[in-house]
Structure 1
Amino acid sequence: MKKVKLFTHTDLDGVGCAIVCNHLLNNVEVEYCDYHNIDQKVLEFINNNRFKEYDLILVTDISVNKDLAEKINEIQSTSKWVLIDHHATAKWLNIYKWANVNDYYIKSPCEENLKTSATSMVYDHLIKFQNNACEELSEFVEKVRRYDTWEWSTKYNDTHAKKLNDLLYIIGRENFIKRFSTNPSIYFSDHELHILEIEKFKIKEYISTKEKQLRTLQVLDYCAGVVFADTYQSELGNELAQKNPNLDFIIIIDPGSLKVSYRGVKEKIDLGKDIAAKFGGGGHPRAAGSQINQRVIDSVLKLILN
């Protein structure tokens, strides 16, 4: 029996990778990481020689820095590493044979290209070695892809995909993983539907309150809206961006977790490359994130506090 180590992101897409691995692999040990600690956790894993205990080491929905990539490359011959990501800011990692970073599925000329998610890429990677493809699992994977790429809103109007993300944050990561690792069906139970309806009301009230706290600042030559919020960042950012077309994007600061989220609806700005990357983070054109660091403090927080 293969022993597998998985380093993955903390959001729905990262959790989706863990659920897919639980279904298609055995003996998976999962460690959840964010942008500020992924390099440290993987480096400690290597320096302590723990990588020698595993037959397969996966890094999903998050990337490593150049120094760490070189270190992984040096030991690749003695262990099996695979990095799978879909953030365009991490495409430079494709110089390594063990890395696969791709933000689109390239289809035939007559078909529309689809945006990737890490969950869908992990599923495609692992299903090649399986003889027990599960229709319910593939449906779950597609819902995660739609939510993470925001196609649930821009293309499909698939509120079910959004509710999947809501359920994750209502019942917590452990319960969510247990539920979908045991039963990958995307159809909600009566109890799940009930708590989702309650959550819908709470989100509406929360956004209404935060909308009154929105402030406008010049950040990196852009006109941004800034608000402090510790929950519902995606819903809040999208709603504020749509209601304020005069703003280039929305910055959501969560002091408790030391995270900054960037949300927008304008095509002229790639929030992952143009904004988050300049603050040490990354992400997608419409949704990105970084940690609160000195540059964020100098560029954003001081302006707010003043």
Structure 2
Amino acid sequence: MYKLLTHNDLDGVGCGILATLAFGEDVDIRYNSISSLNEEVKKFLADETQHEKELWVTDLAVNEENEAAISEFIQSGGKARLIDHHKTSEHLNAHDWAWIETKQEDGKQTSATSMLYDVLVSEGHLEKTNAVSEFVELVRQYDTWEWEKRQNEAAKQLNALLFLQSIEEFADEMIDRLQQGDTFVFSDLEEKLLKVQDAQTARYIRKKRKQVVPVKIDTYLAGVVHAESYLSELGNDLGKTFPHLDLIVMVMMGTKRLSLRTIHDDVDVSAIAGNYGGGGHQKASGASLTEDAFELFVKKAFDLQTLRPDAIDNRFNVPENDLGTLYANEQNDKFLIVQQNRKYYIMKNQQPAEIGFKSFEEAERQLKRDELAFLVTDHRYVKYLSERVKKQDLTVDQPVHKNQEN
């Protein structure tokens, strides 16, 4: 008999599906949030009637108290193992009962589902099939966000399908399909439902783009938004919409949780999440809404100005335009990024600039972080240029910076 405690997201549910395929009715599965896991582990270890079962924990990590308790449980004759792929769990590799691995031998990022699949196959609990292998790979790609690089929409759709029904309904349907099919495919009805879900997700994200507030976290600038749905898709989209932000923090008031995302390779959100009792991956982590987090991400953010997304589908007001690229802020200040002598300068309200930047991207990033500026529409851009020409203060030899050498 087995007791599986696993996460309640797609990767964790994938582990539950594999365990059922391998052990059938001999496994008792409990899907947990990050915050509820340790209480479930504690209950299991305290209940001696459960001790004939082998405890498995997947896609989650235990706290220090349960770490010590599991070791004692094993020393007294119990059986337990933990399989996880989060960077913040690597300290558990000090124990023989834990296997934490963030990357596969081929360099690709792991998921708990892919790791458990390898264990179950290698130990003879489960036979490898095309259908199960395809399912496991879709879960891995979604959980590591590799699906976006590969443009594999099926991985994103699999996650969406999970949230269109209960975990139990999803798991039962997947188990039946994986046992009977030679390949993993969606049904016609699922395809139709997923199209509706995609439209709902897009509308939700468009709304949330207008609600992002910039909050400083030490040397980082975070975009904070209250959100309860489509967190992975939303965090990724907001990161791309506002690339000058170091990370996105999504506040879930209902569950008193934080979800952190970044698109930048030089930002580790798991370290930031650790400040609030959380952890996870470098680019995707979670934490509790502690008193300190509430003070910073809710109270402090409440009175701050929301960010304005850049204008889209511009033809004229585009980066590195010969006549300059125009931005504005909520105070109606105008900022023109222009190039001169291989450097880029930010002119505020037609005044010559002092500091030159090596690239347009560097200048734009600084402008958006300092002034909360946004790219204006073509209409405002053309109007701005026309007014400057009429006033005769826009000429080809106009000085754009105060010093010739910077």
Partner of 1:133: 128
Hey, what's the Cα distance between the residues in 1 that align with 2:49 and 2:241?
50
1:178-189 equivalences under 5 Å are 178-184=172-178, 185-189=183-187
With over 3 angstroms needed to count, the CA separation of the structure-2 counterparts of 1:148 and 1:16, relative to structure 1, is same
Secondary structure at the aligned position of 2:184 is classed as: coil
Of residues 68-77 and 90-99 in structure 1, the stretch that sits farther from structure 2 once superposed is 68-77
Aligned residue among 158, 166, 169 for 2:152: 158
User: CA-atom RMSD, angstroms?
Assistant: 1.3
**Within the alignment, does 1:143 sit opposite 2:142 as a pair?**
no
Kept after mapping to 2: 8 A contact 1:62/1:85:
yes
**Within the alignment, does 1:176 sit opposite 2:182 as a pair?**
no
1:108-257 equivalences under 5 Å are 113-130=107-124, 132-154=127-149, 156-184=150-178, 185-257=183-255
Partner of 2:16: 18
Structure 2, gaps ≥5 residues long: 304-406
Kept after mapping to 2: 8 A contact 1:51/1:57:
no
Higher-Rg structure is 2
Partner of 1:110: none
Of residues 182-191 and 97-106 in structure 1, the stretch that sits farther from structure 2 once superposed is 182-191
Hey, what's the Cα distance between the residues in 2 that align with 1:305 and 1:211?
16
Hey, what's the Cα distance between the residues in 1 that align with 2:63 and 2:50?
18
Kept after mapping to 2: 8 A contact 1:279/1:290:
yes
Hey, what's the Cα distance between the residues in 2 that align with 1:198 and 1:173?
20
1:244-285 deviation line (CA, Å, top 9, x unaligned): 01111111111112221111100111111x211111111111
Partner of 1:305: 302
1:214 Cα offset (Å): 1.1
Hey, what's the Cα distance between the residues in 1 that align with 2:94 and 2:19?
25
Amino acid at match of 1:226: V
1:298 Cα offset (Å): 2.5
Secondary structure at the aligned position of 1:288 is classed as: strand
Partner of 1:266: 264
Identity across matched positions, percent: 36
Secondary structure at the aligned position of 1:133 is classed as: coil
**Within the alignment, does 1:279 sit opposite 2:253 as a pair?**
no
Secondary structure at the aligned position of 2:61 is classed as: coil
Amino acid at match of 1:137: V
Secondary structure at the aligned position of 2:82 is classed as: strand
1:165-221 deviation line (CA, Å, top 9, x unaligned): 010011221111011111125310000000000011111111111111111111233
Hey, what's the Cα distance between the residues in 2 that align with 1:153 and 1:231?
19
Structure with higher RCO (Cα < 8 A, 6+ apart) = 1
Partner of 1:64: 62
How many residue pairs are counted as aligned between the two chains? 296
1:232 Cα offset (Å): 0.7
1:294 Cα offset (Å): 1.7
Aligned residue among 289, 294, 300 for 2:291: 294
Whose helix proportion is higher, 1 or 2? 1
1:224 Cα offset (Å): 0.6
1:2-50 deviation line (CA, Å, top 9, x unaligned): x110000111000000001111113211111222121111112111224
1:59-90 deviation line (CA, Å, top 9, x unaligned): 00000012211111011141210100000110
Partner of 2:329: none
Secondary structure at the aligned position of 1:247 is classed as: coil
1:302 Cα offset (Å): 1.9
Of residues 172-181 and 85-94 in structure 1, the stretch that sits farther from structure 2 once superposed is 172-181
Tell me the TM-score normalized by structure 2: 0.71
Hey, what's the Cα distance between the residues in 2 that align with 1:49 and 1:88?
32
With over 3 angstroms needed to count, the CA separation of the structure-2 counterparts of 1:50 and 1:115, relative to structure 1, is farther
Tell me the TM-score normalized by structure 1: 0.93
Kept after mapping to 1: 8 A contact 2:14/2:139:
yes
Hey, what's the Cα distance between the residues in 1 that align with 2:237 and 2:212?
12
